[in-house]
Every structure is written in structure tokens, then in C-alpha cells.
A and B are shown apart, each in its own frame.
Chain A
Amino acid sequence: MAQSSSSLDVLLKGSSGQSTRGLLRIIILLTIAAAAVASRLFSVIRFESIIHEYDRSRNIDLFPIAVDPWFNFRATKYLVQNGFYSFWDWFDDRTWHPLGRVTGGTLYPGLMVTSGVIYHILRFLTIPVDIRNICVLLAPGFSGLTALAMYLLTCEMSTSPSAGLLAAAFMGIAPGYISRSVAGSYDNEAIAIFLLVFTFFLWIKAVKNGSIMWGALTALFYGYMVSAWGGYVFITNLIPLHVFVLLCMGRYSSRVYISYTTWYALGTLGSMQIPFVGFLPIRNSDHMSALGVFGLIQLVAFADFVRGFLPGKQFQKLLTAMVLLTFGLGFAGLVLLSVSGVIAPWSGRFYSLWDTGYAKIHIPIIASVSEHQPTAWPAFFFDLNFLIWLFPAGVFMCFQNLKDEHVFVIIYAVLSSYFAGVMVRLMLTLTPIVCVAAALALSGILDHFMVLSKPNPEAQTKTNAEDSKSLRSTQKPVVGIYSYFSKAVVTGSITVYLLLFVAHCTWVTSNAYSSPSVVLASRMPDGSQHIIDDYREAYYWLRQNTADNAKIMSWWDYGYQIGGMADRPTLVDNNTWNNTHIATVGKAMSSREEVSYPILRQHDVDYVLVVFGGLLGYSGDDLNKFLWMVRIAEGIWPDEVKERDFFTARGEYRVDDEATPTMRNSLMYKMSYYNYQSLFPAGQAVDRVRGTRVPTESPQLNTLEEAFTSENWIIRIYKVKDLDNFGRDHNNAVAFDKGLKRKRASKKKGPRVLRTE
């Protein structure tokens, strides 16, 4: 064998072999990065270069997910046009009318600044490029970087040369990560996952080397991460937990001390530079574990230092007692501070991860977002395919050596699989560690089965080093695989799994994650593709047919889109900072016209926009979200809006003839079905989403008039009528126009009089 491959030996052995391998490795990594970028371009190729939100609603029956690419895009444009300092002070009066929003101080600027910097660099290199194209392609570009970071991280975990490359390839095309990083999904997560992985890589490097430089680099990228995504809290808690577990395992070392203290001191200072974060790192319970471990490690370090000088056993006991006492006192102090309110309690979103029933009762606005729903098992398989069963195997292999970095992998794996189970959205943080563990497991197999040389049992040095600490299954020495047949079988089947994985990822990406929710694609009976473009049709109608400052009221899911595409002020949007304001909109939607009209007038609303999927069978429409509007409104006005009233006596949510009066009189119901019956022959009107007949009579609208309905009736826009010229209420005015006789007001109390300011 040696003779036949002698020509290759020059390339594969010795120093030139090393450089050949290095070159090969670089080429492979570049190919992986290119594949990662390419697999995210489906939507750009199919549709066009537009910003969009990622929407699983058609594949999985859920509401569209509130993410904010449109807002980010708007903010980036503002940043590029007006410069960094005015971006910092940006007060946006075109959202949350009439409140406005202090945008500069309430966002994570990392994403916008990153694309702004790229834009200016390209300009400096005299490459004229539109800021929109940078925004669209930022996420795929960073996913290529994520694959590289993944390679670095996994190489720290394993001596096997293949593990890193496998992990990079997995990360490049795993649907769990693609879901939030396809071209056009210009969201914080686009850069945040790269930063997450890279920060962890730097952290592992710091712990391994105990160097201040790596610790400082960790802090630097942690700061960048804080500026980019609210999920930085995950790092803030994971690194202290890692250190804490290491301390509990009796693995204190100066390496850990140096890297942790460097990271904590610099990272905390760095994170406080972001106005939105401000003093949270020292005043919020989310960050207290980092502070606590910082204190603990000082104590342990001190004890370790003193131990060298104290000979007697008694002294050591005293020392231990002292350390424990100080720690206890510190802990009690923290508890006292948080009880007395100096330290803010856990933030709602974070807390709802632990107490899973919390959000539903106390913060319906969080519970209403489909991304915050728990994850059913098909979603795991959908997003990770065969990595999901390689994952536990890889974690098991980490117990084999159990060095400091392997402890990190184990903690990360357990914690993030819990989080991903509680919230669909956190699948994103699970994906990196799944890729690491799966790559470790797979490289463990491939390294044994893809070796050509046969093992020689006699030559095996029988060093049965009985290490009681190691795992039972790895106590015997490695022999190797004897027969070519078994090598072929295993290698062959794994190749099949890998090919299947690639096919699965491509299928998932192209089918589920690459359709912008603003543009829906459907198949015609003959198999051709039909594009449903109602959203953009309606937004451009708004842009061209309404006054520049016409206020549009819609449910908050569409706020950013209206702001970005139609460029009109909105009442509420996806930045859900003011629950009461959202509840006001919910109340207006779920009340009778007589109640809603004054609300609309008070908020200067000119147009009301609803999404109705009944004609097309588009399940993510407003009537399906309606109960959340009711619930959120009920949270503020429990006496005026009652969820119970929207259910029939038998507890059903109906929209047909048996719908409750409250339901049929609600503004949302009326706006959805107004004139819908005219599309069908009499008595045949069908709602294709809820699969029921709708009442034969169209609801009557008095205070609104239909202004626009898109091609497929997905978007319906209504104009709010002005006050009547003759001072009548709208009820009477409409009745008069219809030629109905005016009711005698004197006979009985009459219909409820409409009060208008």
C-alpha cells in the first residue's frame, strides 16, 4: 500500500503534507461558507431583494411571528442618512401615535451600526451599493462567518481534525439557524448568532490559556453582542454557570480566575455603554448570577492563596468556614436588596422561561406571540434532522475526557435544550451546541471507520490504565476496526444519512423558511406558482392614496410593515413597549362601533387596516388573532371587554350564524366580513380559514367606510368617517341615507346615543 501511494506521500506526509492539509482545510471552509450563504438566497432568487419577516405560519399553523426587519431597515436608513449622533438621539414621532417613541435609547444598535459601517466601507472603496442590498444580504454573509466561528469552537473541543469541519458544515445548513438568517430577514439574530458562537470560542480559549488577552477579547465581543441582541443575557448567565460548576467540581485554577475576572470587569463596563442596557447589569436580577460568581471566585482565590501559607489543618477549617460565612452573608444581602427593590426582579420575558405558566396570566402580549409557544417534538426534528439524535451521543462523548471546555458543552447543551423546549424561538440558541455535539459524535465514528490500515492486535500496548474516574464504556484501550466490510457498511450508511440531511435542509429552507411573509406563494392546480402580493399592494395603495401623515390603526403585528413600506404613522407596532396603548387598539377592535368610534377619534385615526384570510384560506389573519386582542384589552378594561362574551354558550369560537352578539357587533368582525357575502351567490358565503358559512347578511358599518380591499381580500382598509355635517350621529345619518324612517327618539329611550367629543 505504501508503494502504490508513494506519489501521494509527498503531498500528505511531512511538512509539505501539513501545508497541503492546511490548504485543503481552508478550501473546505470557504466552500462551506459559500454553501451557507448560497442556501439562504432562495427568497432573493424567487422573489426579489426585499426585506421580509420570517413566517412559519403556513407550514405550521401559527400566527406570523413578530420580528422587526422592517423597523431595523428604517432605522438603518435613518442612521445612514443622519449620522450616528442623531441616530443616538432619534425620537420617532411616526410610531405609537400620539405618544412617539424614544427610538435611539430603546433599541439594540449593533445591527444597524454594523450595516452602516459596511456601507461606508464599501462607499470608501468606491463601490456604489444601496443600503437595502446590504441589509438584505447581511444575514447570509454573517452565517458564513458563523460557520467559521463554529469550526474554531469545535476545534477547541476535540483533537479530531474532522470534528471542526463537520460542525461548520452542520451549522452552515442547519434549518434551525437558517430560519432566522435567510436573505432579507434583517433581524438582530442575523449577527447575534455569529457573535454568540464567537464569544463562546473566545471564552473557551481564555479558560484554556488563562490569558488576559483572550479574556479581554471575550469581553469585547460580549460587548458587541450586548449591542446587538437582547439574548445576550444567555451569555451573561452561561459563563458564570460554567465557572460555578468548575468551582463545585474542585477545578479552581488561576486560568479560570484570570479569564473570568477579566471578562466580567471589562464585559460589564462594555455592556453598560449601550443606553438601552444602561445600569441593568448591576441592578437587575438577570445579571446577578454573574456578579455573585464574581464575588465567589474572589473568595475562592483568596482561600487558595492563603492555603499555601497555612500549614495546620485547623486553620484550613477556619478558612473554609469563613469563606462559607462570607458567601452566605453576601447571598443574604443580595436577597435583601432584591426584596427591598434596589435590584429589579427578574424581567418578565426571562422569568417566564422558568415559570412556564407565568406569561399566560401576567403578560398576554408575550404569550400571544407564536415564537413564545412551547416546542412540539416535530419542530425539533424539522429544524435539526439527524443532528437531534447525534446530539445526546456527542454530549456523552464530552464526559469521556471532561476537560473544562467539555463541562461548558454539557451545561450549554442541557440548559439550551430546556429553553428550546419552552420557547420555539430559542431553538436558535440550541442549534450551535447541537452542531458541536453532533460533530463530535460523528467524527468519533468516522475517525475509527475511515482508516485504511488494519489494526494489529499484538502490537497493541496493553496499558490498561484503570482510571476509575472515566466512563465505563471507555476503560479499555482503543483497538480499531478490523474488517473492511464493517468499515464500508458504517461509512456507507453515514454517507446516506449525511446526504439525507443535506436534502432535508434544502427542502426545509426552500419550503418553509424562504417565503417572505409579505409575499405569499401558492401553487395553482396545474403546478405553476402563483404569487399573492396583497400586502405590498395594500401598503403601496396607502403610500400613494393617503395623506402623508394619515394615521393608520392596525394590530401591532403590522405596525413595522406599515411604517416601513407605506411610510405612514401607526398607533402601535411590533416594539410592544406600551401595553396600555396596545390594549386601547384591542378595545377599539373588539367593541361595538359606538364605543370604538370615540376611541378612533381621540387617537386621530384616519384609516383602519385589517387582515382577512377568509377568501384565500390564509390562517394568519386578524380574526384568528382576535382572541388575543380581546385578552389584552380585557387585561386593562375587565368590565368593558370580556373574553367570555366572544364564546358561544357552549364555549365555541364561532363566526357564523351562531356567533355571539358581542362577536357580531365587534368592529373587527364587521370589518372582516363587510360586503364579503356579495362575492358569493346568496347564502353560499364561506370562510375558508375557519371552514364555516358566514351569515347571509353583510354587517352594517356606520362610522367607517370601505376604502380599499386588496386583490385577494387579505388586506382591507377602512376610512374613519368624519363627524356628520348636520350633527347627527352616524347611525342616523346612515339610516337616513338608506331612506329609512327616522326613529322617534321620544317614544322610548332609543338607541344609545353616540357621543363624539
Chain B
Amino acid sequence: MKLWSTLLLSFSVISGVFAAKPTQDTFQKYQSLSRSGPVDLDNAAFEELTNAPRDYYAAVILTAMDVRYGCAMCREFDPEWNLIAKSWNKGNKPDDLKVVFGTLDFDQGKAVFQKLMLQTAPVILLFPPTVGPFAKLESEPARFDFTGPISADQLYSWINRHLPDGPKPELVRPVNYMRIVSAITILMGAVTLFTVLSPYVLPIIQNRNLWAAVSLIAILLFTSGQMFNHIRKVPYVAGDGNGGISYFAGGFQNQFGLETQIVAAIYAVLSFATIALALKVPRMEDVKGQQVAVLIWAGVLFGTYSFLLSVFKTKNGGYPFYLPPF
């Protein structure tokens, strides 16, 4: 009995040593491969890295970088992923907490995609260790699906939640010296340009007409719902189902990009007619000309307003008011 137990014990020790050795090696190997960023993997390397006895975490992004696949999010997220890997590898971390970051591109790892039955990219898998102090019972990897564009911080906090508690390296975004330098250069250039050109520029800046135009354009843009387009990212136009274009979106809370431009133009025409009637017409000395101008502007005002009301009526079905022509 005793003999058996000692035998068993020694076996288990030996097997433990045998098992531990390769994982130690795998970790060292990939750790040395990934000097700063994540390791580039292929089918075989992925298998080796995620093979069952492992005493380290393996975080792998499965991505499709090539332009052919048209995965914009993959390409967008790649620098962020490198940033995470870099921050981790360079940062201060507990000695026994081992994490390997890897990148598996679809071109190198079709077999893995097939094996995992992945239809979408990018996907992030975090394999917990199976042996060692942080070993998890279930060796199934945690999976992070992308629902929208995200930043490195969001993903990093997700990874951190799956790692054991304790100090972890901060996510460090490298200072973009290029940007600072170029900003300073541009600023100084602008100042210089301004000083040199000030005799020519100042009259323009102090020009009242220019400021009036800028303010009016800004007001017209804002009141015609441009900010809504910007925030909600509405389509510019949409088809009406019969091959044509529908210029106006149905419903009170919807609009198209083109629609807001049409509305802004309507407002602009109406405002301009008002300005003409209030400021220009009373300053005309010619009797006939003034009569004609008044009729034209009043007609424009009336027709355009009528059109605006009819457009509004299409947006808000129950609206009871209209003006004759439209």
C-alpha cells in the first residue's frame, strides 16, 4: 500500500515536472518572441500556445487584416491591441502572473477559424492557465465579441477582470511627439503668417459682411438639424423601394442628410426674402423697380413658405395647416 502511494506520488511529481517543463518553455519562447508587441501566430503556433497544460494566460485576437476581407474594425483596432500588449510587456507586473498576447490573422490561421467555427472577426479569446497558481477549472477561453468600435481601455478593463486580482501594469499611451511638434510648428506658422499678412488679413477679419455670413450659415445649419445628422449618423438619402430616391424620411424623429440641406436652403431663401423686403426694397429709388421687387420677394416668400408647410405636413401626418400652392 505504502509502496503504491509513494510510487503514485513520484509519478505525479515526475509527470508534473514533465508537464511543467514544456509549458515553461512555451511561455519563455513566446515571451522572447514578443519583445514589445503581440506575437504573430499561425495555425501551429496557435495550437502550441493554447495547448492544454499551460501555466500562463494567453490572450489572442483573431482578426482579418487584409483589405480583401473589408474588416474595417480589424484594422482600426490593431494599433489598440498592440498598445495593450506593449503596455503589458513593458509594465511592472507580478512575477508569477504570466500573460502572452498574440495576433492570429485569418490569412495565417484559416484552420483555427474553421476549428472554432468563427464567422466574424475580430474576436478576442482569453485562455486561462490550466496549471499553476491561477489555474481555472474550466479551460474554455473567455470570448470578447465586438459590438462596435471600442478603445483599448475598454478591452483592457475586460482583460483585467478575467485576470486575478492584484497590481497590473497601467495602459500607457505613448506620447505622440510628432503631433506635439507639428502642432507647435503649425501654431508658430499661423502666428507668423498672421503677423506678416495682418495688413491684408485684418480688413477681412473686421469685415462685418463676412461675420454676418458666417453667423447666418451657422444658425441655418444648426436649426436645420445638422447636429442630429452628425450625432446619429443618418444616411444622406435613401431609396423609396421603387428605384427612386425619397428625399424626406418618414416620421417626426427621422431625417436624411439631403433633407436637412433642402430645409436649410428653404430657410435661407425665406430669410433672404425677409431681409430683402426689410432692408433692400425700402432703399430703392426707382418707383417701378421697387414695385416689381416687392412683388417678386413677396411671391418668393409666399411660395417657399407654402412649400415648407407642405414638407412639414409630410413629416407630421396630422398637421392641419397649409398655404395654397402646395
Residues A375 and B225 in contact, CB atoms below 8 Å apart:
yes
A32 to B298: give the CA distance in the assembly, Å: 28
Q: A397 to chain B: which residues have CB within 8 Å?
A: 275, 278-279
Closest to B282 in A: A448
Name the B residues within 8 Å of A474 (CB-CB): 279, 283
Asked if A61 and B253 sit within 8 Å, CB to CB, the answer is: yes
- Please tell me if A125 contacts chain B, counting CB pairs below 8 Å: no
Q: Which of A227-235, A381-389, A571-579 contacts B (4 or more CB under 8 A)?
A: A381-389
Are the CB atoms of B298 and A417 closer together than 8 Å? no
Are A378 and B274 in contact (CB-based, < 8 A)? no
Q: Please measure, in the bound complex, the distance between the C-alpha atom of A400 and the C-alpha atom of B280, giving whole angstroms.
A: 12
Say yes or no for B156: interface residue by CB 8 A criterion. Answer: no
Given that A61-B252, A473-B280 are known contacts, is A381 also in contact with B227, CB under 8 Å in the complex? no
How far is A386 from B228 in the complex, measured between Cα atoms in Å?
Answer: 21
Q: Mark B92-133, 1 if CB is under 8 A from A, else 0.
A: 000000000000000000000000000000000000000000
Query: CB-nearest residue of chain A relative to B294?
Result: A486
User: At the interface, yes or no: B224 with Cβ under 8 Å from chain A?
Assistant: yes
**Shortest CB distance B275–A (Å):** 5
Closest beta carbon of chain A to B268's beta carbon, Å: 7
Q: Is A127 an interface position by the 8 A CB rule?
A: no
Would A476 and B223 be within 8 Å (CB), given that A388-B267, A393-B274 are in contact?
no
Report if B159 contacts A (CB, 8 A).
no
- CB pair A377 B223 closer than 8 Å: yes
A471 B209 Cβ-Cβ under 8 A: yes
Cα of A389 to Cα of B267 in the assembled complex, Å: 5
B contact residues around A311 at 8 Å (CB): none
**Chain B: which residue is nearest A382 at the CB level?**
B316
**Inter-subunit contact B291/A391 (CB<8 Å):** no
What chain A residues lie within 8 Å of B305 (beta carbons)?
386, 389, 497
Verify if A507 is at the interface (C-beta below 8 Å from B): yes
Q: Which of A477-508 contact B (CB under 8 A)?
A: 477-483, 485-486, 489-490, 493, 496-497, 500, 503-504, 507
Check A481 against B252 for contact (C-beta < 8 Å). Answer: no
Residues from chain B with Cβ under 8 Å of A485 in the complex: 291
Q: B147 near A: Cβ within 8 Å?
A: yes
Give B255-282 interface residues, CB cut-off 8 Å to A. Answer: 255, 259-260, 263, 266-268, 270-272, 274-275, 277-282
Q: How far is it, in angstroms, between the C-alpha of A395 and the C-alpha of B318 when the chains are bound?
A: 32
CA distance A94 to B220 in the complex (A): 48
Bound Cα distance from A32 to B254, whole angstroms = 35
Binds B, one of A65-73, A165-173, A178-186, A638-646: A638-646
Contact B263 A377 (CB under 8 A): yes
B279: nearest chain-A partner, CB-CB: A473
Select the residue from A421, A478, A500, A503 with max chain B CB neighbours within 10 A: A421
Chain A positions 236-282 with a Cβ under 8 Å from a chain B Cβ:
none
Cβ–Cβ contact A643 & B147, under 8 A:
yes
Q: Which residue of A lies closest to B316 (CB)?
A: A378
B43-51, B77-85, B211-219: which lies at the interface:
B211-219
Interface hits, B161-175 → A, CB 8 Å: 161
- Our pick among B161, B212, B215, B298 for the contact of A493 (Cβ within 8 Å) is B298
- Asked whether, in the complex, the Cβ of A421 is within 8 Å of the Cβ of B226, the reply is yes
Contacts of A460 in B (CB 8 A): 285
Closest B residue, CB atoms, query A487: B294
Interchain CA distance A481-B295 in the complex, whole Å? 12
A445 within 8 A of B: yes
A459 at the interface (CB under 8 A from B): no
Residue A376 is within 8 A (CB to CB) of chain B in the complex: yes
Q: Are the C-beta atoms of A422 and B219 separated by less than 8 Å? A: no
* B301-322 CB contacts (< 8 Å) to partner A: 301-302, 305, 308, 312, 315-316, 318-321
Q: A376 with B215: in contact, given A421-B226, A474-B279, A483-B291 (CB under 8 Å)?
A: no
The interface residues of chain B lying within 8 Å CB-to-CB of A490 are: 277, 294, 298
Chain A positions 428 through 454: 1 when the CB is less than 8 Å from some CB of chain B, otherwise 0:
000000000000010011001100000
B residues 126-156 near A (Cβ < 8 Å) are 145, 147
User: Which of A389, A417, A497 interacts with B218 by CB under 8 Å?
Assistant: A417
Specify which chain A residues have a CB less than 8 angstroms from the CB of B278 in the assembled complex.
Answer: 393, 397, 441, 444-445, 448
Residues of B within 8 A of A422 (CB): 227, 231
Is A356's CB under 8 angstroms from B231's CB? yes
**Is the CB–CB distance between A402 and B220 below 8 Å?**
no
Q: Does B285 contact A479, Cβ atoms closer than 8 Å? A: yes
- How many A residues have CB within 8 A of the partner chain? 73
A500 x B321 contact (CB < 8 A): yes
User: Is the CB–CB distance between A503 and B282 below 8 Å?
Assistant: no
A410 at the interface (CB under 8 A from B): yes
Q: Contacts A489-B294, A638-B158 given: A374-B231 contact, CB under 8 Å?
A: yes
In-complex Cβ contact of A395 among B215, B277, B295, B298 (8 A): B215
Bound Cα distance from A399 to B283, whole angstroms: 17
> How near does chain B come to A130, taking the closest CB pair, in angstroms?
36
Q: Is B287 within 8 A of A414, CB to CB?
A: no
**A60 and B291 contacting across the interface, CB-CB below 8 Å:** no
Interface positions, chain A 606-659, Cβ under 8 Å from B, are 638-639, 643-644
Q: Is the CB of A486 within 8 A of B291?
A: yes
Q: Is the CB of B225 within 8 A of A482?
A: no
The one of A380, A444, A449, A472 in contact with B209, judged by C-beta atoms closer than 8 angstroms, is A472
A396 part of interface (Cβ distance < 8 Å): yes
B295:A377 contact, CB within 8 angstroms: no
A470 within 8 A of B: yes
Q: A376 and B228: CB pair below 8 A?
A: yes
User: Are B279 and A60 within 8 A (Cβ)?
Assistant: no
Q: Given A376-B252, A390-B274, A476-B283, does the pair A493, B208 have CB atoms closer than 8 Å? A: no
Instruction: Chain B residues near A486: list those with CB within 8 A.
Output: 290-291, 294-295, 298
**Which residues on the B side are within 8 Å of A472 (C-beta)?**
209
Closest to A482 in B: B287
With an 8 A cutoff between CB atoms, is A88 at the interface? no
B68 at the interface (CB under 8 A from A): no
* Cβ of A372 to closest chain B Cβ, rounded Å: 11
Distance between Cα atoms of A469 and B295 in the complex (Å): 31
Give B207 Cβ to nearest chain A Cβ, in Å.
9
In the complex, chain A residues whose CB is within 8 Å of the CB of B320: 507
Contact of A381 among B285, B301, B312, B323 (CB under 8 A): B312
Q: In the complex the two chains form, is B294's CB within 8 Å of A441's CB? A: no
User: Of A375, A381, A410, A477, which one neighbours B215 at CB under 8 angstroms?
Assistant: A410
Distance A620 CA – B283 CA, assembled complex (angstroms): 55
A418 lies within 8 A of chain B by Cβ? yes
**B302 proximity list for chain A (CB < 8 A):** 493
B222 part of interface (Cβ distance < 8 Å):
yes
B179 CB-CB contact with A under 8 Å? no
Q: Is B251 an interface residue (CB 8 A)?
A: yes
Q: Is B232 an interface residue when CB atoms closer than 8 A count as contact?
A: yes
Q: Which of B158, B208, B222 contacts A420 (CB 8 A)?
A: B222
Say yes or no: is B201 at the interface (Cβ < 8 Å to chain A): no
Which residue of B145, B158, B222, B294 is within 8 Å of A481 (Cβ)? B294
Give the contacting residue for B225; candidates A376, A391, A473, A503; CB below 8 A.
Answer: A376
Residues of A within 8 A of B319 (CB): 507
A670 to chain B minimum Cβ distance, whole angstroms, is: 25
Evaluate contact between B227 and A356: CB separation under 8 angstroms: yes
Closest Cβ of chain A: how far from B158's Cβ, in Å? 7
The CA of A447 and the CA of B219, in the complex, are separated in Å by 25
CB-contacts of A360-415 with B (<8 A): 374-382, 386, 388-393, 395-397, 399-400, 402, 410, 413-414
In the A-B complex, the 8 residue pairs with the smallest Cβ-Cβ separation, listed nearest first, are A421-B227, A377-B225, A444-B278, A486-B294, A389-B270, A393-B274, A417-B222, A392-B271
New A-B contacts (15) at CB < 8 Å, excluding given A374-B230, A507-B320, A639-B161: A61-B253, A356-B230, A356-B231, A374-B225, A374-B231, A377-B224, A389-B270, A393-B275, A397-B275, A417-B222, A421-B222, A457-B285, A469-B208, A482-B287, A489-B298
Complex A-B: 30 CB contacts under 8 Å: A356-B230, A376-B228, A377-B224, A378-B255, A380-B223, A390-B274, A393-B275, A393-B278, A396-B275, A402-B208, A417-B218, A417-B219, A418-B227, A420-B222, A421-B222, A421-B225, A422-B231, A448-B278, A457-B285, A470-B208, A474-B279, A474-B283, A479-B285, A480-B282, A486-B295, A490-B298, A496-B323, A500-B321, A504-B321, A644-B145
